[in-house]
Amino acid sequence: MSNRRVSYFYDAEVGNYHYGQGHPMKPHRVRMTHNLVVNYNLYHKMEVFRPHLVSPSAMTRFHSDDYINFLKVISPDNMQEYIRQLQRFNVGEDCPVFDGLFEFCQLYTSGSIGGAARLNQDKADIVINWAGGLHHAKKAEASGFCYVNDCVLAILELLKKHERVLYIDIDIHHGDGVEEAFYCTNRVMTCSFHKFGEYFPGTGDVSDIGHNEGKNYAINFPLNDGMDDDAYKSIFHPVIGKIMEVFSPGAVVLQCGADSLSGDRLGCFNLSVKGHADCVDYVRSFNIPMLVLGGGGYTLRNVPRCWTYETSVLVGEPVKDDLPFNDYFEYFGPDYRVHLPVSNMENLNSATYLEKTKNQLLEVLRGVEPVPGTQIQTGQVDSQLNPRGMDISNTSEERKEHAAEMAS
């Protein structure tokens, strides 16, 4: 089905921000992805928007006022005056202070909140924001290269319209910030497939299933090194299929961290671009409003390959394996192709382990109250339907970019 209405959010400024020398997180990869999307002519199949910047108060729908105020004022020049806050908010090492830090957070977050608002207004079936997906940030703490949790803020926006929202995370790292934010509610189900065991962030055990009202609404599939396409598909399809059946979400947020690809600088899985994109295609097949975000991904030449191919899957337009000439063509040598062979690393996930864990999770999902019988407390709904500090009128104003400017 290629007749989906797809919207795509991108701001050319995003590639100008730099975490610092030697830091693995490079916002430049989003610019490289966009350039490939343009040179494959995929932007003709989408409505392309530059996000309207959300206000700092919009970020305090999840984050604490103190933390957002700190992100606004901190800079490399005044760091020495904020030593205590740097420690308190976990900013400095993995999450460094760099020039334009808050503007960078505003940019990637605005695409996700604006994208969610667009889905809510029924102006699109699928929205893409490759700059988003920073899933580790906590209420009052930066973590794992993430400062503002755009995934959580986008889900809060979707909850204004949808009774139930599903969050799926295929980054190699556990989606801890999103799980923690919604651990005690049955309106959001989080589902994360991740490397587990002596690996950042250290959370996401199979036995972590949610608490109180949210019990059975957090799904974690812990994995070992070497996950390949076939093994991943053998668990992803049945688990997500069962979630769709029992939870019946009104909208889905899919975090597509590309650090689960073979050969990632920080990752240890062995997925091909096609194997990664199969997850995107499968979620798309349910025909539920869908917000697609980026996330991790630290081998600079592979991230744009992955996200461009996934853009083509989302718009239903096949692309040639040979890469078109683009501004960053030399990065993609010596093959200059989308699809590269995976490594010969061993898959340390036995069929027995995957089957056992899959069955354990399917059992948890049997404990989910069948829809539509979900009991909701009215007070809780009111607070989530109209969260404090949110000027709803703001989020939907995006400036549509002229197609001619797109190739710039």
- Angle, to 10 degrees, between the axis of helix 273-284 and the axis of helix 302-315? 30
Give the residues across from 127 on adjacent strands: 7, 291
Q: Using omega within 30 degrees of 0 as the cis cutoff, is the peptide bond preceding 222 cis?
A: no
Report the SS3 class of residue 191.
Answer: strand
Distances (CA, A) of 204 to 41, 195, 377: 39, 9, 28
Convert 35-59 to b/e letters by CB count within 10 Å (16 or more is b).
bbbbbbebbebbbbbbbbbbebebb
Across the beta sheet with 47-50, what order do the strands follow? 218-223, 188-195, 165-169, 251-255, 290-293, 126-129, 6-9, 47-50, 399-400
Q: What is the DSSP string of 119-165?
A: HHTTS-SEEEETT---TT-BTTB-BTTBSS-HHHHHHHHHTTT-S-E
Q: Crossing angle of helices 28-39/302-315, nearest 10°?
A: 50
* 4 close to 316: Cβ distance less than 8 angstroms: yes
Catalytic residue among 34, 135, 136, 173: 136
| Residues 244 and 197: beta-carbon distance below 8 Å | no
List, in order, residues 6 or more apart from 118 with CB less than 8 Å away. 7, 49, 124, 127, 396, 398
Q: In this structure, what DSSP letter does residue 360 have?
A: H
1 in Cβ contact with 316 (< 8 Å): yes
Q: How far apart are CA 212 and CA 339, in angstroms?
A: 44
Residue identified by tokens 């049945």 is 238
CB 178 within 8 A of CB 122: no
| Catalytic status, residue 34 | no
Residues with a catalytic annotation lie at 136
